[in-house]
Structure 1
Amino acid sequence: MAKISRDSDVVELTAPPWFEYGQKVRVIKTIRNDGTFPGKDIGEVLVRKGDMGYVTSIGTFLQQFYIYGVDLIEHGYRVGLRGKELEKIETFSETESTTEI
């Protein structure tokens, strides 16, 4: 029997979330509807690689993973994404420290 590789061995909740509320992020892979997004067909593209948004909520799934609610302003909706599907663009403290007064 073949060994099935799954993320089930990884428990992200033992560490703090990777991203913060209000943080600007970029999606690093195309995400399709798995049936949990209302108003879209299963398999329909929700987010494309390179789309940007802001973290508006941080939740959990299966007591294992963080799910980040990302407000995708260009699309006009919010999608729940795993940390491994996102990359940080900037943080508030980074933009604040580069601004001259």
Structure 2
Amino acid sequence: MRLRREQEVEIRKPPRFMPGERVRATQHIKNDGTYPGREIGENLVRKGDEGYVRDIGTFLQQFFIYAVEWIDRGTIVGMRARELVSLDNVEIPCSVETPANRGAAR
């Protein structure tokens, strides 16, 4: 069995999220043993939970780790960018008509 390795050094680019940004979890996050006071395997964050980025750190000088405060749960959990989606900076598809492109020549 071959292990998948992530080759991209994420910290070469700017962080995807900034402190104060509202985010939503895209998957369930369980305690892998690094979260104190909780059992291994216990759910820390559920898919769809909403929180706010409090701080940005790095891991292995390769990845950004976002400290996200989950208000409803009363916890702060370190998350990777792939586990989050922004609720403040939502990308609008090009097919959506906005005042800026309404009536523009096509």
In structure 2, runs of 5+ residues without a counterpart are 90-106
Amino acid at match of 2:19: Y
Shift of 1:35: 0.6
TM-score, normalization by structure 1: 0.85
Shift of 1:6: 2.4
Amino acid at match of 1:34: D
Structure 1 distance, partners of 2:9, 2:43, is 27
In structure 1, runs of 5+ residues without a counterpart are 92-101
Structure 2 distance, partners of 1:10, 1:79, is 23
> Within the alignment, does 1:78 sit opposite 2:88 as a pair?
no
Structure 1 or 2: more strand by fraction: 1
Rg: which structure is higher?
A: 2
SS where residue 57 of structure 2 aligns?
strand
1:21-57, CA deviations, whole angstroms, 9 ceiling, x for partnerless residues? 1000000000000111011011111000000000000
Question: 2:97: which partner in 1?
Answer: none
SS where residue 90 of structure 1 aligns?
coil
Q: Aligned pairs, how many?
A: 89
Q: Percent identity?
A: 52
**RMSD value over aligned CA atoms?**
0.9
Question: 1:67: which partner in 2?
Answer: 65
Shift of 1:4: 1.6
Deviation >2 Å, runs of 4+: none
Shift of 1:3: 2.6
TM-score, normalization by structure 2: 0.81
